[in-house]
Amino acid sequence: MHDHLVELTVSFVVAYGSYLLAERLGQSGILATVACGLVFGSVGRRAASARAEDAIDTVWEFVGFMMTTVVFLLIGLAITLPQLASAAVPIGAALVGLLVSRAVVVYLLLGVGSHVVARLGWAGAFPTSWLHLVAWAGLRGAIAVALALSLPTDLPQRDVLQGTVFGAVLLTLLIQGTTIEPLASRLGLARRDR
């Protein structure tokens, strides 16, 4: 009758239990949770009912939203405007580095790589318009900021590192986040253009 609740509970136990078990064994709890999520998401989904899939998707989406909200609330409590101002140059350098490195990876690996794969007959090449969109859509978010917030308090230049990470995340959200839809529309990839 409530099988979907049992399957939802199992997803929580697997996620949290894998973290605790890995930590107990001296391994990375985060990597264990990611591995369990990959296995549960591919193998477990095939065994789950449609109702359970909907429940799992809805609950985990809500949990993800709440955790992101908490991280950004912690940012507001931990990062100050003077801290951001003092990290202005490293923030600019980080943003340029993020944009350039993402473009190199996207155009070389996806662009050139997909053409090689296409010539071998294994699959089609990615359209250039998609490469442009993927290269620009490299938004940063809560995970980078959470890692920066968790830096030890006695770490030299901790404030500058935190300010740089938060500033780069903020700029990608403001610049790329607000321009991705017009870019997709201009490239003919927006939903209304399909």
- Residue-level pLDDT at 84: 86
- Residue-level pLDDT at 129: 87
**Mean pLDDT of successive 10-residue stretches along the chain, which has 194 residues:** 77 88 90 86 75 84 86 80 88 92 89 78 78 84 80 89 89 88 87 52
| Spatial distance between the Cα atoms of 147 and 123, rounded to a whole number of angstroms | 37
- Residue-level pLDDT at 104: 92
Rounded to the nearest 5°, which phi and psi values hold at 137? -85, 25
State whether residue 193 is helix, strand or coil: helix
- Residue-level pLDDT at 20: 93
pTM over 0.85: no
- Residue-level pLDDT at 191: 64
Give alpha helix (H) positions in 1-157. 3-24, 29-39, 45-47, 50-78, 81-86, 88-105, 113-119, 128-136, 142-149
111 vs 9, 103, 128, 133, CA distance in Å?
42, 10, 8, 12
